Amino acid sequence: MHLLKSYLQDAWVAGAEPQTPLLNATTGQPCAQTSSRGLDLGAALRHARQVGGANLRRMTFAERGELLSQLSGAIHAQRDALIEIGRINSGNTRGDAKFDIDGASGTLAFYANLGKQLGDRTFLCDGEQIRFSRSSRFLGQHILTPRLGAAIHINAFNFPAWNLCEKLACALLAGVPVLAKPATATAWLAVRIVELWAEQNLLPSGALSLLAGPAGDLLDHVQAQDCIVFTGSGDTGRAIRSHAQVLAHGVPVNVEADSLNAAVLGPDVAPDSDTFTMFIQDVVREMTQKAGQKCTAVRRIVVPQQSEAAVRAALVEKLGDTVTGDPEASETTMGPLATPAQQRDVAAGIAALQQTAELVWRGPKPPAQGCFIAPQLYASKAGKDAEFVHDHEVFGPVATLLTCDGSAGAVVGIVARGGGGLVCSVYSDDAGWSRDVLLGVAPWHGRIYWGSAKVSDQGTGQGAVLPGLVHGGPGKAGGGEELGGERGLRFYWQRTAIQGDTQLLKQILG
Ligand code: NAP
């Protein structure tokens, strides 16, 4: 069986026995194994800080950008082999695997280009010089310099390629070395990507480490100049934030956690309109792509009462096209969940949901072997009071239809019950209503996707996280923020105000 090793101190090392098996999501059979037992994570972090940090800080933004460009190219060159790993270990259809892998190489390419634009500098100024008095001889200026520690990236199981690359693109471009820890259950793809980079000697010494297997004592070794970026469940996010060493050293932690994303239909949208078609297509894609295992998937569908019947009928018809099965079969449009644990979690979530919501539609019984769950749509008349629907993220191909009177106030009230999310999509051609909803839900979200007739043939859907736009959300979503072009680099920098002689400041800042 394939043995996954960790890449620490520029070398591949295997953890001690016993190994943890990784499963083929479609068959349930082991496909790889890994262990992090006995690995010296303290030494790995020291090497990253001392060697990797120094190497990256010596490079200009343009040089770091060139590095990212090479990392992106190496993924693209092996795209088909990587897609195959996604199929086996994550149960991805070809389309799902491409979403993950092309998202990874595309995000690296985006940040490569940003590095080129930032050019031959090694640090940045933040804003303009600030004058304090009538004299212009003594000024203030904020600067942004890379943290001197390591960035610890702890990733979720659902996007092993994209999660790895979207985080490291920002950190490496910012000049900070990375220790990445993919979720154990689907780590094979992340390990293979780092193997490709290491085989081609693309990585400066110490710039990237990869921990395959559980985190072990990793967080016991964090220090004041390190930072942590986490994607996964709210519970783990809280455990990381409250880790004694993290608290003792004031280590910054960025958390992307649970999110009960809503898709909202405006009362102006007629069932025969392009905006309505866009809404239905987007909701069904967001429910079934990656078998609903996307942090940005639609969980709550909010529609005005007068549109409920039309929405139900259209969703049931479109969902009926879903073919759940072996991702290798060409007719399959939705594969299994990634792990038996996720399958159990989703089944338990559905059982609880059924206590409070009515089943509208469920797909045909999927294969019994493997981690399959049939896609399903529920409806609740409880609106804002549908407690479970607003509080619990069922991380699979499941969503619940909620109705209200369609007024902007009612819509905002229902959406806000999610307690903070990554993204909300709003479908309407009525600028006034949309304005009230967009501004009403904005404080609860990191991103809003506005679908309307003029963009109905161009939209990416709310599920696509674009590197130029921020990803993250307040409250339940973890309160974190990633990506967003240059904004994504700021987490890795210290902002420092320097006050001093104007001429001397000019000499060092350029
Ligand atoms: P998880 O159990 O929180 O695991 C996420 C990552 O944290 C994994 O790499 C895991 O490692 C690691 N981890 C677990 N305990 C840790 C600890 N004490 N210290 C350091 N690292 C630790 O989440 P998951 O299993 O990937 O997903 C479960 C749920 O998270 C989903 O059902 C969904 O609700 C949510 N989720 C949210 C997002 C998002 O972007 N917002 C994405 C995916 C999932 P191991 O794998 O080695 O245990």
**Distance from C-alpha of 373 to C-alpha of 115, rounded to nearest angstrom:** 43
215 lines ligand 1 (CB under 6 A): yes
Give, for ligand 1, the residue of 186, 228, 236 to mutate: max count of ligand atoms closer than 8 Å to Cβ. 236
Residue of the nearest CA to atom 35 in ligand 1? 233
183 lines ligand 1 (CB under 6 A): yes
Distance 152 CA to ligand 1 centre (A): 14
Distance 233 CA to ligand 1 centre (A): 5
Q: Is the pLDDT of residue 459 over 90?
A: no
Q: Is the pLDDT of residue 392 over 80?
A: yes
Confidence of residue 508 (pLDDT cuts 50, 70, 90): confident
Q: What are phi and psi of 151, to 5 degrees?
A: -95, 120
Beta bridge partners of 262: 300, 424
Distance 430 CA to ligand 1 centre (A): 39
Ligand 1: atom nearest CA of 154 is 9
Q: Is the pLDDT of residue 54 over 90?
A: yes
Confidence of residue 509 (pLDDT cuts 50, 70, 90): confident
Distance 506 CA to ligand 1 centre (A): 46
Residue of the nearest CA to atom 21 in ligand 1? 215
Catalytic residue among 166, 256, 481, 482: 256
Q: Which H or E run contains 240?
A: helix 234-241
How much is the pLDDT for 134?
83
Q: Is 256 a catalytic residue?
A: yes
Per-residue pLDDT, averaged over 129-145, amounts to: 90
Distance 182 CA to ligand 1 centre (A): 9
Chain segment 428-450, per-residue pLDDT in tens: 999 999 999 999 999 999 999 99
Chain segment 284-301, per-residue pLDDT in tens: 999 999 999 999 999 999
257 lines ligand 1 (CB under 6 A): yes
Q: Is the pLDDT of residue 310 over 80?
A: yes
How much is the pLDDT for 189?
98
How much is the pLDDT for 73?
98
Chain segment 319-376, per-residue pLDDT in tens: 999 999 999 999 999 999 999 999 999 999 999 999 999 999 999 999 989 999 999 9
Phi-psi region of 51 (alpha: psi -120 to 50; beta: other; left: phi over 0): alpha
Q: Supply the Cα-derived Rg of the chain in whole angstroms.
A: 24
Domains of the chain (ranges, CATH numbers): 13-257+481-509 (3.40.605.10), 262-467 (3.40.309.10)
pTM of the model: 0.96
**Distance from C-alpha of 14 to C-alpha of 7, rounded to nearest angstrom:** 9
| Mean per-residue pLDDT over the chain, rounded | 96
Q: Is the C-alpha dihedral spanning 488, 494, 497, 498 positive or negative?
A: negative
Chain segment 221-276, per-residue pLDDT in tens: 999 999 999 999 999 999 999 999 999 999 999 999 999 999 999 999 999 999 99
Phi-psi region of 273 (alpha: psi -120 to 50; beta: other; left: phi over 0): beta
145 lines ligand 1 (CB under 6 A): no
- Percentage of the chain beyond pLDDT 70 is 100
Q: Is 166 a catalytic residue?
A: no
Q: What are phi and psi of 11, to 5 degrees?
A: -140, 155
How much is the pLDDT for 74?
98
